[in-house]
């Protein structure tokens, strides 16, 4: 049977980052080869069908209600480690993967989520498959949940992670430092002042971009936005996402210098225009800021992977981590001084040199197109 796709990407919708990474990789591949065939699969939907929606809703409720439960799982247990014979336990799941691979016959598989890599690694072992399996690590972490014996190549976010993975026994020739993939538009050479003019701002204005409203991880008190509104030459743009309550609350304040938008398809332009980003420390957001050379203030990180990403931000001097509104205000005032921002931008430029999503695209396109092996029927 003829191959139906060249690359199969396995991802999930646990947060927007994993899907964003898969979209960024597709974009870079197709900028090189417009005819390259890519098939994206939500692993949870494949395995659990209708129940996957329940899983996603439950996940959202857990991280909203009590991040401690999530963090216990994140830090203390590798997925499925309590199951000794995982191949037998997941045999029905592996069968679904086998059926899909037989139907699509991809040249290689890329995973952007730990459990997807786990299942594909188990599949390769159980079915004696030699299909190349690549994993893109989507946070600045070296967690064991990403590490599986049958994975052939890891695209890692930073050299420090490559070193730590090598110390854990991963061969260096299986590690490529690429950064976390971001869309091509973020690499564009925008003119900051021209963007400010296009969006209706004076070039002397300092633009503060506030993201993360949909997850409730930015300040919601009216007093904070009134304070922002009062700072000379500062203009704030709040992207509220699904947080309609926050949107309505801030809009009702009728603040001249605080603009609220629900969604935008021009995030690269907003980030390149801005002088300061206030937001969450998700892996893709961190690297969008790096590529955009945008100093970041993280407000009250709680989830395990965001805490780890904050360690990276501190280590490389890419921004300021704050635990409460008082610290947030202090950080904003500090970053409004040009010399403080310039110092952070210099650090961002150093890290940006190692960020290259195109390397992922080139490696995938260079993959040997010999038919992959599989277990005899």
**How many domains are contained in the chain?**
2
Q: Is residue 77 in a domain?
A: yes
* pLDDT of res. 375: 40
Q: Are residues 174 and 192 in the same domain?
A: no
Q: Are residues 35 and 110 in the same domain?
A: yes
* pLDDT of res. 54: 61
Q: Are residues 135 and 192 in the same domain?
A: no
Query: Stretch 336-344: mean pLDDT, rounded?
Result: 96
Q: Are residues 230 and 284 in the same domain?
A: yes
Q: Is residue 372 in a domain?
A: no
Residue 230: count of CB within 10 angstroms of its CB: 10
* pLDDT of res. 271: 98
* Low-confidence winner among 11-25, 150-164, 259-273 (lowest mean pLDDT): 11-25
Three-state secondary-structure class, residue 355: coil
66: pLDDT strictly greater than 60 = no
Q: How far apart are CA 334 and CA 275, in angstroms?
A: 12
Q: Is residue 20 in a domain?
A: yes
Query: Stretch 329-341: mean pLDDT, rounded?
Result: 97
Strand 175-177 relative to strand 153-156, pairing: parallel
Q: Which residue segment(s) compose the domain that 214 sits in?
A: 185-352
64: pLDDT strictly greater than 70 = no
The answer to whether the CB of 324 falls within 8 A of the CB of 300 is: yes
Q: How far apart are CA 183 and CA 261, in angstroms?
A: 21
Confidence tier at 108 by pLDDT (50, 70, 90): very high
Query: Stretch 313-327: mean pLDDT, rounded?
Result: 96
Q: Are residues 171 and 47 in the same domain?
A: yes
* pLDDT of res. 45: 79
CATH number of the structural domain spanning residue 63: 3.40.50.2000
Q: How far apart are CA 80 and CA 100, in angstroms?
A: 23
Side-chain-side CA neighbours of residue 375 (13 Å) = 12
What rounded mean pLDDT belongs to the chain?
87
Q: Is residue 41 in a domain?
A: yes
Q: Cβ neighbours of residue 370 under 8 Å, at least 6 residues apart?
A: none
Q: Are residues 225 and 195 in the same domain?
A: yes
* Low-confidence winner among 80-89, 190-199, 207-216, 316-325 (lowest mean pLDDT): 80-89
Q: Are residues 83 and 229 in the same domain?
A: no
* pLDDT of res. 247: 86
374: pLDDT strictly greater than 60 = no
pLDDT: which is higher, 84 or 348: 348
Q: Are residues 121 and 175 in the same domain?
A: yes
Q: Is residue 131 in a domain?
A: yes
pLDDT: which is higher, 60 or 345: 345
Query: Stretch 149-167: mean pLDDT, rounded?
Result: 97
The string of DSSP letters for 176-241 reads: EE--S---GGGGS---HHHHHHHTT--TTPEEEEE--GGGT-S---HHHHHHHHTSTTEEEEEE-T
Burial (CB < 10 A; 0-12, 13-18, 19+), residue 130, is: middle
Q: Is residue 373 in a domain?
A: no
Q: How far apart are CA 4 and CA 105, in angstroms?
A: 6
Reported as a single tens digit per residue, the pLDDT across 279-290 is 989 999 999 999
Q: Are residues 156 and 229 in the same domain?
A: no
Cα distances (angstroms) measured from residue 147 to each of 80, 91, 118, 122, 130: 13, 20, 8, 12, 18
Task: Please give the model's pTM, rounded to 2 decimal places.
Answer: 0.89
Q: Are residues 153 and 206 in the same domain?
A: no
Strand 234-239 relative to strand 153-156, pairing: unpaired
Q: Are residues 45 and 156 in the same domain?
A: yes
Query: Stretch 247-265: mean pLDDT, rounded?
Result: 92
The answer to whether the CB of 10 falls within 8 A of the CB of 43 is: yes
């Amino acid at each position: 049977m003829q191959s139906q796709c060249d690359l199969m990407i396995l991802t999930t919708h646990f947060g927007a980052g994993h899907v964003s990474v898969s979209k960024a990789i597709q974009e870079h591949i197709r900028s090189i080869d417009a005819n390259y065939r890519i098939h994206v699969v939500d692993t949870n939907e494949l395995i659990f069908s209708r129940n996957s929606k329940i899983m996603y809703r439950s996940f959202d409720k857990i991280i909203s209600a009590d991040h401690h439960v999530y963090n216990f799982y994140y830090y203390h247990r590798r997925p499925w480690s309590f199951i000794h014979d995982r191949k037998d336990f997941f045999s029905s799941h592996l069968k679904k993967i086998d059926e899909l691979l037989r139907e699509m016959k991809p040249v290689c598989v890329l995973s952007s989520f730990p459990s997807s890599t786990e299942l594909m690694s188990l599949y390769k072992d159980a079915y004696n498959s030699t299909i190349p399996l690549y994993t893109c690590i989507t946070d600045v972490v070296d967690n064991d949940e990403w590490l599986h014996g049958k994975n052939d190549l890891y695209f890692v976010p930073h050299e420090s992670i490559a070193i730590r993975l090598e110390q854990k026994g991963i061969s260096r020739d299986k590690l490529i430092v690429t950064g976390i993939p971001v869309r091509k538009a973020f690499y564009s050479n925008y003119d900051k002042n021209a963007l400010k003019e296009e969006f209706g701002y004076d070039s002397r204005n300092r633009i503060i971009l506030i993201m993360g409203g949909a997850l409730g991880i930015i300040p919601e008190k009216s007093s904070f936005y009134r304070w922002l509104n009062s700072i000379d030459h500062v203009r704030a743009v709040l992207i509220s996402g699904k947080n309609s309550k926050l949107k309505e609350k801030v809009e009702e304040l009728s603040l001249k210098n605080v603009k609220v938008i629900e969604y935008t398809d021009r995030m690269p332009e907003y980030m390149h225009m801005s002088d300061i980003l206030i937001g969450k420390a998700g892996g893709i957001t961190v690297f969008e800021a790096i590529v955009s050379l945008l100093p970041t203030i993280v407000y009250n990180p709680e989830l395990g992977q965001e805490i780890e990403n904050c360690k990276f931000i501190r280590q490389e001097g890419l921004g300021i981590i704050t635990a409460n509104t008082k610290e947030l205000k202090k950080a904003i005032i500090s970053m409004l001084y040009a010399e403080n921002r310039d110092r952070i931008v210099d650090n961002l430029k150093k890290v940006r040199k190692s960020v290259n999503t195109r390397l992922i695209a080139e490696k995938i396109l260079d993959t040997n197109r010999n038919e992959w092996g599989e277990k005899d029927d």
